[in-house]
Structure 1
Amino acid sequence: MTARMPDPSVTTERLTLRPFAPADAGRIRSVIEARHAFLPPGAPGHPSGITQWLARGVHELRHSGQGVHLAMDADGLVVGAISLFKTLWGTGTTEVGYGVHPLHRGRGYAPEAVRGLARWAFAATSLRRIELRANLDNTASLRVAEKAGFVREGVLRAAELEDDGPHDVVVFGLLRADLT
């Protein structure tokens, strides 16, 4: 079964989770020039790619039916990004990932965004399970998963290979029934 993620419309206490738009070009330019790494996979590495990415690239995941990339907007400022990806409509599963601009970390934006997007996904789609994966040594992301209500399900040993070598990955899950 192939489906398409509906247009997201998510408002939390402090955030609006929304599709990236051409109006974000200036903010994205400053993020890229400062080499802050919180944008979704496929974000341009050079300012020359911003227009194309905002017009088409950042929306390809949604158009393919495999998920959605969204901006975390706080008071008109992009403070982070959040995505649903690896969506399998036949089994009703997806994975969530996020990143927060370094100047806005430690304010609780990530768990707020994850909770808000999970509630939206369960209300607006037939998804039944959302996974969140974090490196075992990434204590901030482990806290985000727990604060967002995800259940720690296990550790995948040496499952992620990064520049400094293999890392163990903690798998968290959230079921539709967990939010009732």
Structure 2
Amino acid sequence: MVPVSRPDQPDVPLILPRLEGPALSMRAFRGDDVDAIREAGRDRLVPLITTVPEDADQEQALAFIRRQHDRLRRRAGYSFAIADADDVAIGQIGLWLRDERHGRASIGYWLRPSARGRGLAAAALAVLCDWACTLPQLNRLELYVEPWNEASWRTAERAGFVREGLMRSWQIVDGTPRDMYMYSLLTATQR
């Protein structure tokens, strides 16, 4: 059974399913995922555009994990740890429901630096989108990528997202308004 978000029941927490794909899975974050978060926190960009703490110590990484679990309770969205074939966390992918009442959800993702360059982000994105397209309340999935981040926008395109345009000064990154490409993928009911 697919867990279904119920915007008409705001007090009911979301349920995070385990999603399986070729050579990876998406699951809830666990305490033993600290190394992935700490490595991502040493990347110069990941902490700027996510809630991953910069140069996280053990306790800060565990606090990040608790915040991901809390997103379900608050119905903010689904935060998955991306795990490799050995079930070791290599990143995060999230389906954020801020605009769910309008039939939209946004997606964000990151990989720890040691896991990049192997197509795993694209594989995780494809699996997440296949699942998200089964959620009846969603008509559209969106993601935003800085124009210079070619690896990320190519990942989106490989997963079937279409670039709709350039959103000027769309997001504050490191205190500066940044342009973002907007990408979308329509769910099966809207294609």
2:25 to 16, 22, 25: 16
Does the CA contact (< 8 Å) of 2:38 and 2:61 recur in 1?
no
TM-score, L = length of structure 2: 0.79
Closer/same/farther in 2, CA of residues 11 and 131 from structure 1, 3 Å limit: same
For these two proteins, the number of residue pairs brought into alignment is 177
Measure the CA separation in 1 of the matches of 2:167 and 2:131.
28
Alignment of 1:17-166 (within 5 A): 17-25=26-34, 27-28=35-36, 30-31=38-39, 35-36=42-43, 38=46, 41-44=50-53, 45-54=56-65, 56-74=66-84, 75-163=86-174, 165-166=176-177
Contact 1:42 1:58 in 2 (8 A): no
Q: What secondary structure does 1:103 align onto?
A: helix
Q: Which residue of 1 aligns with 2:4?
A: none
Which runs of 5 or more residues in structure 2 are unaligned? 1-6
Q: Give CA deviations for 1:96-150 in whole Å, capped at 9, x if unaligned.
A: 0000111111111111111110111122452221101001111111101100100
Matched AA of 1:64: R
1:160/1:68 CA distance change after superposition, 3 Å = same
> How far apart are 1:86 and its partner, in Å?
4.0
The aligned amino acid for 1:12 is: G
Contact 2:36 2:90 in 1 (8 A): no
Percent identity of equivalent pairs: 29
Deviations 1:34-86 (A, max 9, x none): 723648943443322334443x3221111111201111100222111111114
Aligned counterparts of 2:155 and 2:180: Cα–Cα separation in 1 = 15
Distance 1:21 1:156, change over 3 A: same
- Structure 1 runs (4+) greater than 6 angstroms displaced: none
Mapped to 1, the partners of 2:61 and 2:178 lie a distance apart of 32
Q: 1:29 to 1:123 in 2, by over 3 A?
A: closer
When residues 147 and 50 of structure 1 are mapped into structure 2, their CA distance, relative to the original with a 3 A threshold, is same
For 2:81, give the aligned amino acid.
A
Gaps of 5+ in 1: none
RMSD: 2.6
